[in-house]
Structure formats: structure tokens, C-alpha cells
Amino acid sequence: MLANYHTHTVRCKHAKGTEREYIEAAIKEGFKILGFSDHVPQPYPEGFKSGIRMDMSEIEDYTSTLVKLREEYKDRIEILIGYEVEYSDRFIEPLLKEIRKFPLDYLIQGQHFAPNEVDGFYVGAKTDDEERLKAYVDVTIKGMETGLFTYLAHPDLIHYTGNDDIYNRHMSRLVKASKDLDLPLEVNIYGFVDGRHYPCDRFFKLASDMGAKFVIGCDAHAPEILKKPGNVPGLTDFLKRNHVEYGDNIVKIRDCK
Ligand SMILES: [Zn+2]
Ligand SMILES: [Zn+2]
């Protein structure tokens, strides 16, 4: 594993460590590419404040800090500037308009809400409601189909507790879309280390049976999460039993500009 494209910064209000600390940790771990993909600021209506992302006014500092560090470290590691983006019909266009004013290399899709953070529900909350599972899959596929995203982060963030038949029926639509669009699906290291419900066997067994492509993402909310799978206890077993292959973990960057 030579690359990680899923890294946060303190600006998202729930991560720690300076950009420099993340970069130093990535070099120490032997990465050749480090992509920053902090939670994108959203052009939400007046009065709605998200507690999990930077404010619009912080884009300038985020990007200029990374531009400086990219230059400073260019002989040791390649730094990419990106965001983890929530797809929604309602906000995607104004969001793109704002972030395209500043340096930008790539976007990953991380679908935490359906159909969006303002009008919808958090998909990581436990549910046995098929409608919610369907809503998650529908909005996620719509985002994937925009062609903006380099990959799909934590595809199994939806915390559906119902039976396997229903789960597989909907999630196989998402896997099929990833194959048709040649969009890798992420195994999320942070979720694994933190003992969350994702990455889960149920999803990755389905996805590998269907022949999906995978990418490993640290989803680093602290520099010490920047680890290769072999250095994360239990993760190699998880990947093996689900037949997840990732090679050097370098993915094709999609143009989002
Ligand atoms: Zn995420
Ligand atoms: Zn993330």
C-alpha cells in the first residue's frame, strides 16, 4: 500500500493533529501519496450549522496550508488536495462553485446523510427500515453517476440491521453501479480500528463475489490512523476472508474541476 486518499484535519471539528503531523506519519509508514479529504464545507441555509465540517471561510486556509506543505515535501511524498463530499441534489452545485475557486485535485464521496444533512437522516444510525436502506443506496448511486468522485468511502456506512436478503438486494445495486462506473469501494480503516459497524463482512463478501474493485482508506482523524493494513491488528484477516485485493492502493484520480 503506497497511497492513502482519506485524511481529515482539525477543521472538521472532530479530528486532531496538524497537517504536518499527518504528513510526517504518512512518510514514516512508507506512503508515497497522501491525499487530504477533509469534510467539505456546505452551502447550507442561514441558521443551519453542521458540527462535522469546516466552515466555508476556512477553505482558503485549508488549501493554502496544503499548497505550502506540498511544495515543502515534494521530494518525499506527493500531497493531494481534496474533500470528502456528501452528494445531494439540493447542494451539490453551489458547493462545487465554492470549492472550485481554490486549489483542488480530487473528491471522494462519503454519504453520511440521505437525501442530505438538512432534510434527511444520518445513515450510520441503526435502522431496520428498508425505506432508509433504499434511500441511502439511491442517493449514493446518484452521486456516483456524476463522475465527480475518485471513489466511494465507507460504502457500508448504512447501518441496516434487517435480514440479508433485503440488504443484499439493495446493496448489490450499489456494487453494480461501482462496477459499471469503474469506481472503487473503500475498506475504511478508521471504522475497523474504532470497532464500528463498518467495514462489515456482509458487504465486502457481497462486493467481492460480484467482482468489485477496492481501495483501502485510512479515514485518518488522527495521525496514528495512517497505517498500512498489515499494521492494523485483525485487518489482514478481514481482507483475506472477504477476498479484498488492493495492490499498491493507487487509484485513478477523476477530474472534478
Ligand atoms: Zn466519512
Ligand atoms: Zn472521512
Which CATH number covers residue 120?
Answer: 3.20.20.140
Report yes or no on 117 lying in a domain.
Answer: yes
**Average pLDDT, integer, range 197-206:** 98
Report yes or no on 249 lying in a domain.
Answer: no
Report yes or no on 251 lying in a domain.
Answer: no
CA of 219 to the centre of ligand 2 (A): 5
Tens digits of per-residue pLDDT, 138-182? 999 999 999 999 999 999 999 999 999 999 999 999 999 999 999
CA of 7 to the centre of ligand 2 (A): 7
Distance from C-alpha of 19 to C-alpha of 190, rounded to nearest angstrom: 18
CA of 219 to the centre of ligand 1 (A): 7
Give the number of domains in the chain: 1
Please name the residue ranges forming H helices in the chain: 19-29, 59-72, 92-99, 130-144, 164-180, 189-193, 201-209, 235-241
Q: For residue 106, give its domain range.
A: 3-241
pTM for the model: 0.97
Ligand sitting nearest the alpha carbon of 124:
1
Report yes or no on 250 lying in a domain.
Answer: no
CA of 74 to the centre of ligand 1 (A): 27
CA of 6 to the centre of ligand 1 (A): 9
